[in-house]
Chain A
Amino acid sequence: MIQFSHVYKTYPGDIHALRDVSLTIDKGEFVFLTGPSGAGKSTLFKLISAYEQATSGRAQVAGFDLNHIKAAQVPYLRRRIGVVYQDFRLLKKRSVFDNVALPLVVRGERPSYIERRVQDVLDQVSLGFKLKALPEQMSGGEQQRVAIARALVHQPEVLIADEPTGNLDPVLSREILSLLDGVNAQGTTVFVATHDHDMVKKSGRRVVDLDRGAVVGGA
């Protein structure tokens, strides 16, 4: 599902964000990505979601060859992955329904299907009763669940989450993790970047460790 082979990412000024990263994540796997700040976790996620392109090496995600992908194909790659960020990235002035419906709207789905699917996925994250609420009126944990619902509503093949529990307390973090477990149980490949070593240890999942841009374990 995700395959990186000898990938380097170098920014101007000889800043090596990723060095010789080789990594394979199979369909249906749940993998944690750990490492200190500046290790290159966010850069790796930017490459996966096609916000950046590798300086060298080969990268493939959900059947797309990221070395040769054209700009016009990028939106179609993003429709096959779901992304969750630490800071939620919700439209503050739009309702929960509007936020979650967005991936389906851009795919041009029928309104009746959108309504049904959004309700289903919000029920899945236990927010089915907050369709009309605004993100600003919700707690951090609830906002993160809305962001996860948005990332799942179009049934992506891969879900990547960059520090999804970074802004949450331990109780809410466990809630989010169990939600991601549920998503993975349904067959979605999940790749989560985190600082939370306790959470990683308790989960018993595969861990890829990054340090100064290089994979130092779990590849």
Chain B
Amino acid sequence: MKYWQEFLRTWAQQPAMQIATLSVLVGTFTVIAVFLGLQQNLNSLLTRWGESVQITAYLEEVQGADLEATGLQLEELIGVIQEEKGVERVDYVSKEVAVQRFQEQMGTYAPSLFTDSDLESPLPASLEILLSPRLASREHFDYLVSLAERIAQLAGVEEVSYGQGWVENYASVLDFFKSSTAALVVLLLAGSLLVVGNSIRTSIDQRREEIEILELVGATPAMIRGPYLFEGAMMGLLAGWIALGICALLAQWQIHLVSQHLGMLGLGGSIQHLGFVQSLGLLALAMSFGLLGSYFCVRRISSSWNHSPVREF
């Protein structure tokens, strides 16, 4: 109650300074919230793309026949691959199914392919290996590469393909975005410490006389620092709360824009505001940094006791 009174008194005594500080903090935490939201949305989009990544193992032809012809070896191969960690499903695609798919995909460009029943499949039989967990990080990418290498070593496998170039670029984009967001957030948080610290320092300077009187009548350092720490924490919390509001409005606007202009991509569902846990996290972060900025400023506020060694006679 007492701390609230002090907080409101500071606002009443220096409204311009408080509004300026709050505005800068709101700006800082809005940028952080927007980037966290962007990362969340990009992650969900990239994870959706990542789900389509699979390994295709092309099978050797054995003495002019498919591996299919030697049924026992095929079952064995599928069994070995399914034993691997992270393999969700293994589907066998015969030469016939492969050529059928090819005809369906290319039929519009070369209609004669559809009608030519004598077309002999130039495509090998293959195993389509679906992975779990989905490809959404550098670790998953590294695992995918090592798994593909192991499968390529298996008897009966001619070649392995998993869209190597695309997957690598995709993993690099994920890495870059995550690290650049982290760097930006750290930079902005460091800035927020300075802003809160500056505001509290001004507040302390204006109340220097009051602090000296409190020391004079026996207030402990904790009693003197308390209102300033509370002020910093509340300032951070308020800024975080306003930033979340702004971020929610921006997300609504983006959803509206995407559904209006990019509706055919079906991305509307991928754009979401920060979830409850993330929002709570941002508020806790804003409050902690408000508190921390204030702490750095007030930790030496009450140093009226010049404690140095005394020589005794």
Interface positions of A (Cβ within 8 A of B): 5-6, 49-58, 67, 70-72, 74-79, 83, 89-91, 102-103, 106-107, 150, 154
Contacts and interface: CB of A to CB of B under 8 A. Distances in A.
B4 to A, nearest CB: 16
A49 B213 CA distance: 13
B210 A91 contact: yes
B261 interface: no
Given A57-B312, A67-B312, A89-B213, A52 B219 contact: no
Nearest to A81: B218
B310 A53 contact: yes
B174 interface: no
Contacts of B218: 75-79, 103, 106-107, 154
Interface in B262-313: 304-308, 310-313
Given A6-B313, A89-B212, A106-B223, A53 B217 contact: no
Nearest to B311: A56
The listed residue with most B CB atoms (<10 A of its CB), out of A52, A71, A154, is A71
Contact of A53 (B210, B212, B223, B306): B306
Given A6-B313, A56-B313, A78 B307 contact: no
A90 to B, nearest CB: 8
B208 to A, nearest CB: 12
Determine the main DSSP class of B at the interface with A: loop
B220 interface: yes
A53 B313 CA distance: 15
A58 B304 CA distance: 20
B98 to A, nearest CB: 81
B312 A74 contact: no
Given A52-B306, A74-B305, A102 B313 contact: no
The listed residue with most A CB atoms (<10 A of its CB), out of B209, B223, B305, is B305
A143 to B, nearest CB: 13
Contacts of A74: 304-305
The bracket for how many chain B residues form the interface is: 20 to 34
21 contacts: A6-B313, A53-B308, A56-B310, A56-B312, A57-B310, A71-B305, A71-B307, A75-B218, A75-B220, A83-B216, A89-B209, A89-B212, A89-B216, A91-B210, A91-B213, A102-B217, A103-B218, A106-B214, A106-B219, A106-B223, A150-B217
A51 to B, nearest CB: 6
B214 to A, nearest CB: 7
A55 B310 contact: yes
Contacts of A5: 313
Contacts of A103: 217-218
Interface string B157-189: 000000000000000000000000000000000
The listed residue with most B CB atoms (<10 A of its CB), out of A50, A54, A67, A106, is A106
B215 interface: yes
B312 A78 contact: no
Given A53-B307, A71-B221, 15 more contacts: A6-B313, A52-B306, A53-B310, A54-B310, A56-B310, A56-B311, A57-B310, A57-B312, A58-B313, A71-B307, A78-B215, A78-B217, A79-B218, A102-B213, A106-B218
The listed residue with most A CB atoms (<10 A of its CB), out of B217, B221, B306, B311, is B217
A76 B219 CA distance: 8
